[in-house]
Structure 1
Amino acid sequence: MTRKSREAAVRRMLERPAPRVPPELHADAVRRGARILRRRTLVRRAMWLLLLAGSVAFVVWALTVRPWVEPPSETTPPLTGW
Structure 2
Amino acid sequence: MNRPDREALVRQLLEQTPPPVPPDLYADAVRRGGRMLRRRTAARRLLWLLLFAASVAFLVWSLTARPWVEPPSETTPPLTGW
TM-score greater than 0.5 by the shorter chain: yes
What runs of 5+ residues in structure 2 fail to find an aligned partner? none
Q: Between the two proteins, what is the percent identity of the paired residues?
A: 72
Number of residue-to-residue matches in the alignment: 82
Q: Give matches, 1:39-50, under 5 Å.
A: 39-50=39-50
Query: Secondary structure, in 3 states, of the residue corresponding to 2:64?
Result: helix
- TM-score when scaled to structure 2? 0.77
**TM-score relative to the length of structure 1:** 0.77
Query: For residue 58 of structure 1, what is the amino acid of its counterpart?
Result: F
Q: 2:59 corresponds to which residue? A: 59
SS of equivalent residue, structure 2 residue 13: helix
**1:12 Cα shift?**
2.8
* Structure-2 residue corresponding to 1:74: 74
Q: CA deviation at 1:39?
A: 0.5
Shift of 1:52: 0.7
Residue 4 (structure 1) shift: 5.8
- Matched residues in 2 for 1:56 and 1:77: separation? 39
1:79 Cα shift? 5.0
Letter in 1 for 2:25: L
Per-residue deviation at 1:5?
Answer: 5.5
User: Aligned AA for 2:29?
Assistant: A
CA distance in 1, matches of 2:55, 2:23: 49
Return closer, same or farther for 1:54/1:2 CA change in 2, 3 Å cut-off. Answer: closer
For 2:65 and 2:8, how far apart are their aligned partners in 1? 80
